[in-house]
Every structure is written in structure tokens, then in C-alpha cells.
Amino acid sequence: MASELMREGTPEELLLDCHVFDYPRLMQFAETHAPAYAAALPFPHIVIDEFLSDDFVRFVCARFPDLRERPGQEAVSAQTEDGRPAQAGKRWISRESAVDLAIRCLYWELNSGAFLGFLERLTGIAPLLPDPYLAGGGLHETQRGGFLRVHADFNRQPELGLVRRLNLLVYLNPDWNPAWGGDLELWDADMTQCVQRVAPLGGRCVVFSTSRHSFHGHPHPLACPEGQARRSLAMYYYTHDGGAAVQRHETLWQALPGES
């Protein structure tokens, strides 16, 4: 699959040039879809199919590191308030130095001024700031049987204290079978129902506004075959609080309806 939002060229050419996207097209997309973004339920968001081309996704996947060889970022200890495991079977890597140069080039573009301009026009949130530390972001991978409970994310960048405003998720799962599960679920503020489900298909991007009520996750154990995994790239964006009193909170884990 091609992507109308990307420039023409091989993945190698685009990444090493740090110029993956066709910005006039990207900005036109933002202008066209900004009203739908703002009106989306249960909170502002958008799903962008073919954000990355299939060839590009496969190129990145071929350079996706073996996260089992990188201890220290395995999500095994987090718990909900009632003591339930909050996540399982998940690993991630946030350090730029631990990934291939091509993936670092993608990070750099997604944190560039031009790309921030696209996000600002799409979401109406400005001025946005990137996170050079990639706190909690970077490459994520969940194995068979793994899950991530519904939650609202931590709201302050740990090193800089900036206020978290946006999440951008890009799925790196070519040939993903929706029967394997792993759908991103977006829940209402009262945690009474899942309003949207988004399959983690390769090249698909999800952007959503973050708040203490932007509840999301993939809470059901993955049914993918052994040797497969749910992979994604996560980038988070921030603003200065302008002196407003925004109370810091860590991840707010939620129980699903009917859980006791």
C-alpha cells in the first residue's frame, strides 16, 4: 500500500534525508480533518490509515530491535489500585542510542518543527513541544498473552515538567490479523463503555488528546501466534502550562465494568 501523505522515494532515501512526509499534503489533511478531530468521541482523536506505506513499515520492522536483549524497560510491576496487574508481556525502549539510525531519523522527523506544525493545525493545540527524552515513548512491543489495561497517561514530562497534551501512535504490524485482538480501545470518561476500537494495522496512525479522562488501552490478552507481537512507535507532545495549576498525576489505571 502506498501512502498519499509520504514523499516519493525508497524508505532508505526518505529516512536518511529525515524528510518522510509530503508537508503540503499533510497540512491539507490537517485543515480538512481538524473539525472531525475536535468532535470525535469519547475524546478528540483521529485514525489515519496508510500514514506510512507498507514498504516503509516493513523496512522499519526489519530494524526493530530485539527488546528481550534490553533489560530495564519491561512492564511487569505496574498494578492497578486494587492490586491487579496493569500490564503484562510488554517491553519498550525509549533510548535513541539503542535503536537503528533509520528509526532515529523517524523520531527526529516526528519531533521536527514541520511535523509539530501539522499536529498543531490538526488538533488546535499550540505551541507544541516534543520530548527529547522520549519518556515512556519510543518503540513498544507486546507478546502473545500480553495486555495493557485501560488508563489515562501520566500528565507531566518527568525531566522538564511540561504538560502532556497529545499522543501519537504508529502501528508497525504488517499482515496483522484482526482476529488476534490488540485493538486500541477508547473509553468514555465514566468508564461505562468502550466507544471506539482501533485495530493495530501496519502503517495506521492514531493521534489523540490526553487528559485525566482520556482512557485507553488494549486490555484483553493478545491471541497472536508465538513469534508474532503487537508493535508500535509512540511519541508524546507537550505544552508549557502558562502558569496554570495543572496537578501532576501518574498513570491512572481503570477497572473494566463488572470487575470486582
Give the separation between CA 226 and CA 89, rounded to whole angstroms.
12
Q: Tell me the average pLDDT across 206-216.
A: 97
Residue type for position 235: M
- Please determine, for residue 107, whether its predicted confidence score (pLDDT) is greater than 60: yes
For domain 11-241+248-253, the CATH architecture is Sandwich (2.60)
Q: 126: Cβ–Cβ under 8 A, 6 or more apart, which residues? A: 120, 239
Task: Return the pLDDT at 97.
Answer: 86
Task: Share the mean pLDDT of the chain.
Answer: 92
Question: Which has the higher per-residue pLDDT, 260 or 145?
Answer: 145
Over residues 4-11, the mean pLDDT reads 95
Whole-number Å distance between alpha carbons of 205 and 46: 8
pLDDT at 62 over 70: yes
Average pLDDT over residues 243-251: 79
Say if residue 80's pLDDT is above 80.
Answer: no
Lowest mean pLDDT among 166-170, 232-236, 240-244: 240-244
* Residue found under cell 519498550: 92
Lowest mean pLDDT among 12-16, 116-120, 129-133, 161-165: 12-16
Q: Which three cell numbers stand for residue 146?
A: 500480553
Tell me the C-alpha distance between 110 and 205, whole Å: 12
User: Residue 131 in contact with residue 175, Cβ under 8 Å?
Assistant: no
pLDDT digits (tens, 9 = 90+) for 18-54: 899 999 999 999 999 999 999 999 999 999 999 999 9
The Cα 254–Cα 157 span in angstroms is 21
